Amino acid sequence: MNNRIYGYIYLKNQNEVPYEDINMFMACNIDQRDIYIDIGNRSHLKALRDLILKQGDTLVIRNIEALGSNKKFILDTIKSLYLKGIMVYFIENQELNSSKYIDDQMELIEQLLISKENARKRQGTINGISQMPVNEYGVRVSPRTDKEIGRPAIKMPDNFIEVYTKWRNNLISTNTAIKELGLKKGTFYNMVKEYESK
């Protein structure tokens, strides 16, 4: 068995400087000649996986993103390394280093990837909505349909003040007030709160 430790760094473009990563890996006792850097593609990662790493070796990676953005590729790469008897150690994703069993670790990695994917989608939705134009009422509208985004606000019923006054003076119950106004309980309390804050 070799029992060598290798480091792998992925940079999106040539403008990124890997000094911080290199120092981080050297702090893990990895010889600088055993640190492989890819810029824009993952040719060194494929060479590490298929040719360089041997049973008993350890591959140190800063985080899961270094392996790619495609969930299947990441899982396939890690599984193939595990099956060859190669340990994978994540510097930033410490929770992935906790399990000694391949299946458990693969499940942790998959959960992390799903969570990151969901976070990206949520952020994309938030960014998309924040970029939409605002109409004269201060409401965001879709540029394609010119319709308001989100659930339309429920208008206060014409008899709200009358029913509210009776309800506040304990002349009618909450259920009666809700029925008379034709509202749901949560909507009723939201309107009460809005009305009382004016």
* Interval 100-146: pLDDT, tens: 666 777 788 888 778 878 877 777 666 766 777 777 666 777 777 77
- In this prediction, residue 28 carries a pLDDT of 79
Q: What is this structure's pTM?
A: 0.56
Identify the pLDDT of residue 151: 67
* CB-CB contact of 55 with 86 (8 Å): yes
Question: How is residue 81 written in tokens?
Answer: 């390394």
Q: Which residues does the chain have with pLDDT short of 50?
A: 1
* The pLDDT value given to residue 100: 66
pLDDT computed for residue 99 by the predictor = 66
3-state secondary structure of 10: strand
Which pair of tokens denotes residue 34? 């055993």
Provide the residue count of the chain. Answer: 198
Q: Which residues contact 140 (CB under 8 A, 6 or more apart)?
A: 129, 132, 133, 134, 148, 149, 150
Tokens linked to 10: 């992925």
Contact 82, 75 (CB under 8 A): no
